[in-house]
Amino acid sequence: MRRIKLSDEADARIITLLRQNADLTNREMAKRLKLNDSTLRKKIIALRRKGIIRRRLADVNAERLGYKSRMMLAVDAEPSRIVDVGKKLAAIPQARFVFAMSGENDFLVVIWTRDNDSMAKVVESVGTIEGIVKVTQNFLWDRLK
């Protein structure tokens, strides 16, 4: 993927502010950044068009929503099946995040379920996906950042 340069320092400040708090309205952001509302709006539109800003996300507390069991799965797949395995992992409803990666594993999958029995069923189903050769389970205890 080609690296895209930011237009100016204001773009970098917009991204930094959004990473700190994506809930801010455009008006609040413009005020904090000392930018005109319309200038900020145009800059955000341009950053979206460039694919730098994909979307604004809520930082959700899984436990407060009743997801008591959270696990990270490190998944290895047969090289010829990487694309298919990735699509099947991304289609799992309980998968909150699915990352394709290089290094020791091919995928990192974060699963949320309401209890350990449900988690066991999801993990078991992941192990049956054709092309997967290894699944390593890691329970997530605390989010530190």
Give the pLDDT confidence of 19-38 residue by residue, as tens digits.
888 889 999 999 999 999 99
What architecture is domain 9-49? Orthogonal Bundle (1.10)
Q: What's the pTM value of the predicted model, to 2 decimals?
A: 0.71
Q: What is the dihedral of CA 77, 105, 51, 112, to 10 degrees?
A: 90
Interval 121-144 mean pLDDT: 94
Instruction: Quote the crossing angle between the two packed helices 37-49 and 26-33, to the nearest 10°.
Output: 110
Kindly list the domain boundaries of the chain, sorted by start residue: 9-49, 63-139
Average pLDDT of the chain? 92
Give Cα separations from 78 to 73, 99, 124, 127, 130 (angstroms).
16, 16, 18, 13, 9
What architecture is domain 63-139? 2-Layer Sandwich (3.30)
Interval 92-101 mean pLDDT: 96
